[in-house]
Chains A and B, each alone.
With several copies, the nearest count.
Chain A
Amino acid sequence: MAAVDDAQQPDSRLSKTNRERLVSAGRHAALLVWSFVVLFPLYWIVSMSLKPPTAAISLPPDWIFLPTVYNYIQLLQQSSFVYAFFNSVFMVSASVILVLLIGVPAAYVLSRYDIPKQRDVLVWILSSRMLPPVAVIIPFFVIFRALNLYDTRIGMIFMYITINISLVVWVMKAFFDGIPETLEEAARVDGATRFQAFRKVILPAAKPGIFSVAIISFIFAWIELLFSLVLTNNNAVTVTMQVYQFIGVRQIEWGMLAAATTATIIPVVIFVIAVNRYLAAGLSFGVVIKE
């Protein structure tokens, strides 16, 4: 949909091309300002990772410098970082798939069926993310040890599911609510089981929502710190912990910290690029369904 593209004043003297250009220029100006706000710190982090340590924090900054990949080479030579990195990629990806498998159908049920005490159920789901992790970390540690999940990948995957499940259920419920029920009715009359109607008709229509929550869940799990800190030891270690190893007791290795931070952004960027086209698979139901 294009929501913002026509005349503001009825008696505008501007020709469309000019006005269009103006509107579009204004839009891009605003977006570029925010792009700068967003990208400058990122640029700074990346440039820190490419500078020798002294240059990283000197003022006025060296705008022009000879990039060095020294930090990245160091990073790659650290087997523990590489291990944790791929470990995280695996655990986080697995958890995103699982949390979608668990959460999306549940959201669908909450959207389409009469659930007794629905509001309470929803708030209950939400309550799982209400307490700061520091308030629940000890009980989780106790359970994890009791169930032998401590420092296991399964345990971390489960943990990631728990931090994302409420998000997935809530957001997806909202998206399902926006999908006309007629579509489903048509599918069921066409002989689809409820499940088939869900899978073939509703899910494709909910794509923007699904991929959005996938991105967000991925990121939430990817940057999670406290649970991975307390619940892992050395098998299921995560990349966040590895980033922080450069924050030492009497020395912060800025270059390495920046390089590691940059490295952790990369999978997210790749993931976002991969699902980019689904984010706005804007379906115009209105064209098809008379409302």
Chain B
Amino acid sequence: MAKIDLDTVTKRFGSGGDAVVAVDDVSLEIEDGEFVVFVGPSGSGKSTLLRIVAGLERQTEGDVVIGDTIVNELGPRARDIAMVFQNYALYPNMTVEENMAFGLKMSTDLSDDEIETRVRETAEKMGIGRLLDNTPGEMSGGQQQRVALGRAIVRNPDVFLMDEPLSNLDAKLRTEMRTEINRLQNELDVTTLYVTHDQTEAMTMGDRLVVLNYGELQQVGTPLECFYRPKNRFVAGFLGSPSMNFFEGQTEGGTLRLDGFDFDLTREMQSAAGSRNELVLGIRPEDAKIHDTPRSSHELEAEVDVVEPMGSISYVYLRATEQEGDRTFIVETDGQRAITEGQSVYVEIPDDDVHLFDDEDGETIHQRKLGEDAEVELEGQT
């Protein structure tokens, strides 16, 4: 009933030479009841895409299909959606209660009592029950955001569009809200499009992840797929925090010569690389390991630049001792491990955890290995 099809949708702002292509030829099928998370750098067209689905923006090209109808011509009202705006867009002259009740009044025949009950319930869930009589101007940023969220979920639409609905909430509240949204989505089986910048949300909330860059689809898949099997360097680098470390280099026989160290390619890697000469090696900070003394061949010597203690873990910024450039890479270590800046360490780069990318087009040519279970799970998903 609320399947959403985007068919070669393009959106340009402005025209002629100045045009900004906010969404570039995106095709995507979203199943009824599916929860899809959109991620991408700032300005990559996520909001625009949501607005196109909502009917607030008219795509320059392509079709939007909701259910079985092409809705290009239909206004937002006809599409039966609820949306959380990135900028909240609360009605300034209404109280919280009125803000939340507005959609129900407009789109349903519920009695005033029913509306009030539903609004109150939702407000309680959002933790803004005691603010119902406030106007938006009298609330903190997070409270406003929760009103915006509450205003959307109090309704019972076919489609949820949520544009960074939790960005101004603290971690704890965010976890609660995340759970609440997931629960609700499961319960009501509402097709949901969700934009977020939060890695946790991206990885945990959605059935599928859509990665955008410069308005173009980069990868569509389950979160784990995107994380472990990134289609290209962009996706690999974008997901995970801190980002994957990339090292550019040239193959020389079975060896990849990188700035500061050499990396011996496994047979598998070599065959994947084929005739490519310029390769990029990728390794996630949590996969590389730091040793005080050399242990295996796949190690490089590096000097500790900065240590960022995070509590249980620390991020260590390292600079390869022999490198020519001035770049650092990051490795995650245990938070209680004593590492001081300037210290010399050895970094192990396990074969299994390495990704290889084509230097030119960024395509992934070799994916990392996973544990057997994980591998199975991943397969199962796709």
Contact = CB atoms under 8 A, between A and B. Distances in A.
Q: Check A-B contact in the complex, CB < 8 A.
A: yes
Contacts of A9: 78
Contacts of A210: none
B264 to A, nearest CB: 51
Contact of A16 (B72, B90, B108): B72
Contacts of A183: 89, 91-92
Interface in B60-104: 72-78, 80-83, 85-94, 102-103
Interface string A142-159: 000000000000000000
B338 interface: no
A120 interface: no
Interface size class, chain B:
35 or more
B92 A190 contact: no
Contact of B56 (A189, A205, A283, A286): A189
A200 B101 CA distance: 12
A77 interface: no
Interface string A1-41: 00001110111101111010000000000000000000000
Interface in A246-291: 281, 283-291
Contact of B75 (A6, A285, A287, A288): A6
A288 B102 contact: no
Interface string B135-174: 0110001001000000100010000010000000000000
Contacts of B72: 16
A174 to B, nearest CB: 14
Given A190-B103, A192-B102, A285-B92, A182 B75 contact: no
Among A188, A189, A196, the one with the most B-chain Cβ atoms within 10 Å of its Cβ is A189
Contact of A185 (B89, B92, B102): B89
Interface string A174-191: 000000101101111111
A187 B102 contact: yes
Contact of A201 (B55, B91, B108): B91
Contacts of A201: 91
Contact of A205 (B78, B92, B144): B92
A191 B80 contact: yes
Interface residues of A, number: 41
Given A19-B73, A189-B76, A291 B89 contact: yes
Contacts of B92: 183, 205, 283-285, 287-288, 291
Nearest to A179: B92
B107 interface: yes
A185 B89 CA distance: 8
Contacts of B91: 183, 186-187, 201, 205, 288
A101 B136 CA distance: 29
Given A187-B102, A189-B83, A191-B107, A290 B77 contact: no
A53 interface: no
A278 B19 CA distance: 25
Contacts of A185: 54, 56, 76, 85, 89
Given A190-B82, A201-B91, A290 B144 contact: yes
B144 A6 contact: no
A283 B93 contact: yes
A281 B137 CA distance: 13
B93 A205 contact: yes
B106 interface: yes
Nearest to B139: A287
Contacts, number: 129
Contacts of B54: 185, 189
A118 interface: no
Contacts of B87: 182, 286-287, 289-291
Contacts of B81: 189
A14 to B, nearest CB: 7
A235 interface: no
B77 A193 contact: yes
Given A10-B77, A183-B89, A288 B151 contact: no
Question: Which of A14, A180, A188, A192 has most B Cβ within 10 Å?
Answer: A188
B88 A188 contact: no
Contacts of B94: 204
A112 interface: no
Q: Which of B81, B82, B93 lies at the interface centre, i.e. has the most chain A CB atoms within 10 A of its CB?
A: B93
A193 to B, nearest CB: 6
A185 B144 CA distance: 17
A129 interface: no
Interface in B18-53: none
Nearest to A19: B73
B199 to A, nearest CB: 23
Contacts of B161: 189
Contact of B74 (A7, A204, A281): A7
Contact of A186 (B89, B93, B108): B89
A6 B92 CA distance: 23
B103 A191 contact: yes
A128 to B, nearest CB: 30
Nearest to B69: A11
B89 A286 contact: yes
A182 B148 CA distance: 13
Contacts of A287: 87, 92, 136-137
B106 A182 contact: no
A187 B56 contact: no
Given A12-B73, A189-B54, A189-B103, 7 more contacts: A5-B75, A182-B85, A183-B91, A188-B75, A190-B106, A288-B88, A289-B87
Interface of B: 54-56, 72-78, 80-83, 85-94, 102-103, 106-108, 136-137, 141, 144, 151, 155, 161
8 contacts: A10-B77, A12-B73, A15-B73, A188-B76, A191-B108, A193-B77, A200-B106, A290-B88
Interface of A: 5-7, 9-12, 14-17, 19, 180, 182-183, 185-194, 196, 200-201, 204-205, 207, 281, 283-291
List the 4 closest A-B pairs by CB distance, nearest first: A6-B75, A191-B107, A16-B73, A190-B103
